[in-house]
């Protein structure tokens, strides 16, 4: 009925905000996944880059991180980290999610969670299953 409030279960808000960062490798597999409660900021991203992403690189000299222009992607610090560990960095043009293949992966994971999250006791368990299903 138009104009009337609809009541129903909303699973995502039940678990609070969880942010996820990961990389997509050349084989189209998610690597270095990291999930945390709250919102991403520059310090968290740079910590992920050094502590989670870099150890996953098998050959940094042949690795290129392609990244969007999110506000927490502080270019100067990311370039410094890349120089220190020997991998390349390329920033996508602004407002170009269609050029970022990881966006398709996030869409698949979010869709899977919408369909199956209610089958799990916690968001974390559902998220683990979503990642293993990829």
Residue boundaries of the structural domains of the chain: 11-132
CA distance 8 to 133: 28
CA distance 73 to 3: 42
Beta strands in 38-128 (DSSP E): 64-67, 88-91
CA distance 108 to 124: 17
The bridge status of strand 88-91 relative to strand 30-37 is unpaired
The bridge status of strand 30-37 relative to strand 18-24 is antiparallel
Residue 73 CB coordination number (10 Å): 17
CA 30 to chain centre: 9
Beta strands in 1-134 (DSSP E): 18-24, 30-37, 64-67, 88-91
Tens of pLDDT, residue by residue, the chain (134 residues): 566 766 655 554 555 788 899 999 989 899 999 999 999 999 999 999 999 999 999 999 999 999 999 999 999 999 999 999 999 999 999 888 788 888 889 999 999 999 999 999 988 899 999 887 65
The answer to whether 21 touches 40, Cβ cutoff 8 Å, is: yes
What class is the 11-132 domain? alpha beta
């Amino acid at each position: 009925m138009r104009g009337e409030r609809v009541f129903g279960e909303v699973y995502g808000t039940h678990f609070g905000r969880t942010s996820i960062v990961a990389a997509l490798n050349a084989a189209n597999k998610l690597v270095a996944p990291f999930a945390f409660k709250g919102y991403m900021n520059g310090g968290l991203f740079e910590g992920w880059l050094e502590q989670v992403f870099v150890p996953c690189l098998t050959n940094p000299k042949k690795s290129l991180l392609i990244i969007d222009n999110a506000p927490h992607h502080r270019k100067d610090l990311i370039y410094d980290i890349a120089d220190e560990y020997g991998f390349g960095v390329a920033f996508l043009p602004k407002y170009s999610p269609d050029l970022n293949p990881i966006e398709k992966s996030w869409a698949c994971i979010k869709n899977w969670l919408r369909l199956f999250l209610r089958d799990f006791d916690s968001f974390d368990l559902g998220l683990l299953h979503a990642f293993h299903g990829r």
